[in-house]
Amino acid sequence: MAFLTGVAATAFGKYSGSDAPSLMETAARAAIADAGLPLEAVDGLVCGYATTFPHLMTATVMVERLGLTPRHAHQAAVGGATGVVGLLLARHLIAAGACRHVLVLGGENRLTGQSRDDAVKTLAGVGHPVHEVPLGASVPAYYALVAARHLHETGASERDLAELAVLMRRHAAAHPGAQLTKPISVDDVMASKPVATPLKLLDCCPISDGAAAVVVSAEPGQGASIRLAGWGEAHTHQHVSEMPDDLGLGARIAANQAFAGAGRSAADMRLLGLYDSFTPTLAIFLEALGFAPPGRAGAMAREGLFGRDGRFPLNLHGGLLSYGHPGVAGFLAHVVEVIRQMRGEAGDRQVAGPPPLAYCHADGGVFSSHAGFVLERTA
Amino acid sequence: MSGVMLQSCGSCGRVWQFRRGGCPQCGSTAVREVTASGGGTVWSVTQVMRAPLPELDLPGGYAIALVTLDEGPRVMCRAETGLVIGQRVTVGLGADGLPLARTS
């Protein structure tokens, strides 16, 4: 049994003068305090990488900085899925009896710690060094290729994808920590600068500074008891050139494993935290996981299905698309919001009747590494 | 011949692009080098308007396509502007040595 007992995220945005360890320290101390634990109780650490702080041993840098004495610590790297995989590793460490309280941590000054061009160039390196990167491909270009294929296969339109950006912005407006809060319309998304067709600037998440942390424990801890009820992973390829023809394959394998482990189905979920690096990322997940029929994610967003009062409230903090994306912390912020909602602590953004079941899912690379889990409020 | 190099499995016949010591389908290490015939179909295509490197940042951008070659593998190429998914193309090496997809 593993429980999510402590969560914290900094506000995401532009923090000149910050650095990756200082941002991570802020989130780590807040999450451990949220769990009601003394620092010495934390006996495990899974720490993400930071592109602005390419230390070979970020985890032990943070052990030293926080004054922890863990039985296990290491740095994990599976791109955008790092936070979720970190939480699953924490669960496995607890199940094995190796640790009782594992801190999962990510954060960096991705916006102010490097030029925008350097950030784009660094991320493009997830592509194949011989067969993709030299062509001038970038992460938005890789996702654009998948997006174009998705639109071709489903008949959905660019305006449908834009609905998801509009929704994330609407949700972010209710969160004081969000980077982008100015309301946008589908027309605004369509009129924004083209990045790589069919993606426009507002189909893409911003680059941010920020950090987030989650404590996974062997027992429930103080307050609401939130159990990691089921989990799954799938790693189908690394490079978009070798992506399966079925765009949702990895997502579906991971999610089905998570739902089966929890003894639940997609229809049982009452809250979603889904990775949204680009609008098509969200569309493909929503459709692959059974929350919308093929090609209908945008239309269902327009109809209110994924709003706070809808059937499947989605990314109520605004997601990567509007809360922001500082790398590994990006998806951990989804988890932080899901936990706050499940505890009934989300204030003005609180969904009615704190949801008893939630599903979280992220991908790393270009739909390469998938990890997802079901959370259940048990008390 | 296209100049685009592939590998082929001597056991199961699977063909792929990224260099490996064994077949990703059956594990056989009987791997042969083959040159792609060059015929293929556009699986997806994008016009990149914001390049990852300043020297590539040209007005109007450039197209990148994923092309499913007739031998089976999907390969990434620079592409003529205006290609659409499902279109038949010929892949060869452009003047810069990079694979380029063009209308036949």
Q: Which chain B residue is nearest to residue A244, measuring alpha carbons?
A: B74
Q: Is the pLDDT of residue B14 over 90?
A: yes
Stretch A247-258: mean pLDDT, rounded?
A: 98
Q: What is the pLDDT of residue A30?
A: 98
Rounded to the nearest angstrom, the gap between the alpha carbon of residue A287 and the centroid of all alpha carbons in its chain is 17
Residues B85-97: tens digit of each pLDDT: 999 999 999 988 9
Q: Would A310 be classed as within a structural domain?
A: no
Q: How far is CA A181 from CA A165, A274, A355, in A?
A: 12, 19, 25
Q: Is the pLDDT of residue A89 over 80?
A: yes
Residue numbers in A near B85 (CB within 8 A) = 148-149, 152
Residues A34-81: tens digit of each pLDDT: 999 999 999 999 999 999 999 999 999 999 999 999 999 999 999 999
Q: What is the pLDDT of residue A340?
A: 98
Q: Would A60 be classed as within a structural domain?
A: yes
Q: Is the pLDDT of residue B1 over 80?
A: no
Q: What is the pLDDT of residue B58?
A: 81
Return the H-helix or E-strand segment holding A117: helix A116-124
Q: Would A75 be classed as within a structural domain?
A: yes
Q: Out of B48, B53, B76, name the one closest to residue A131 (CB).
A: B76
- Whether complex ipTM tops 0.95: yes
- Which residues of B lie closer than 8 Å to A, measured between beta carbons? 16-19, 43-54, 56, 61-62, 64, 66, 74-78, 85-86, 98-99
φ, ψ of residue A306 in degrees (nearest 5): -105, 10
- Which of A236-245, A264-273, B17-26, B47-56 shows the lowest per-residue confidence on average (mean pLDDT)? B47-56
**Sheet strand arrangement including A226-235:** A72-76, A44-48, A101-109, A209-217, A3-9, A226-235, A369-377, A357-364, A272-274
Confidence at A297, pLDDT banded by 50, 70, 90: very high
Domain limits at A60? Answer: 3-115+208-217
CB-CB contact of B49 with B65 (8 Å): no
In angstroms, rounded to a whole number, what is the distance separating the alpha carbons of residues A188 and A185? 5
CB-CB contact of B22 with B29 (8 Å): yes
Q: Does A195 touch chain B (CB under 8 A)?
A: yes
CB-CB contact of A301 with A357 (8 Å): no
Q: How far is CA A265 from CA A105, A141, A187, B29, in A?
A: 29, 33, 35, 42
Residues A121-176: tens digit of each pLDDT: 888 888 999 999 999 999 999 999 999 999 999 999 999 999 999 999 999 999 99
Q: Would A357 be classed as within a structural domain?
A: no
A84-93 b/e with 16+ CB inside 10 Å = b? bbbbbbbbeb
Q: Would A37 be classed as within a structural domain?
A: yes
CB spacing of B44 vs A149 below 8 angstroms: yes
Q: Would A25 be classed as within a structural domain?
A: yes
Two tokens, residue A285: 């997940």
Tally of structural domains, chain A: 1
Q: Would A49 be classed as within a structural domain?
A: yes
Q: Is the pTM of this model over 0.80?
A: yes
Q: Does A134 touch chain B (CB under 8 A)?
A: yes
Q: Say which CATH number the domain at A81 has.
A: 3.40.47.10
Q: Would A71 be classed as within a structural domain?
A: yes
- Minimal CA separation from A371 to chain B, in Å: 23
Stretch A235-259: mean pLDDT, rounded?
A: 97
CB spacing of B50 vs A197 below 8 angstroms: no
Question: How much is the CA Rg of chain B, to the nearest whole Å?
Answer: 15
Walk me through the domains of chain B, giving residue ranges and CATH numbers.
Answer: 5-103 (2.40.50.840)
How much is the mean pLDDT over chain A?
97
In sequence order, what are the beta bridge partners of A319?
none
Q: What is the pLDDT of residue A322?
A: 98
Q: Out of B19, B51, B99, name the one closest to residue A136 (CB).
A: B51
CB spacing of A131 vs B75 below 8 angstroms: yes
Confidence at A94, pLDDT banded by 50, 70, 90: very high
In sequence order, what are the beta bridge partners of B41?
B68, B88
Q: Which chain B residue is nearest to residue A133, measuring alpha carbons?
A: B52
Q: Which chain B residue is nearest to residue A153, measuring alpha carbons?
A: B85
CB spacing of A141 vs B44 below 8 angstroms: no
- Minimal CA separation from A59 to chain B, in Å: 30
In angstroms, rounded to a whole number, what is the distance separating the alpha carbons of residues A49 and A147? 27
**Cα-Cα-Cα-Cα dihedral of A304, A310, A312, A316, to 10°?**
90
| Residue B18 CB neighbours (<10 A) | 17
How much is the mean pLDDT over chain B?
95
Residue type, A188: D
Two tokens, residue A54: 């390419």
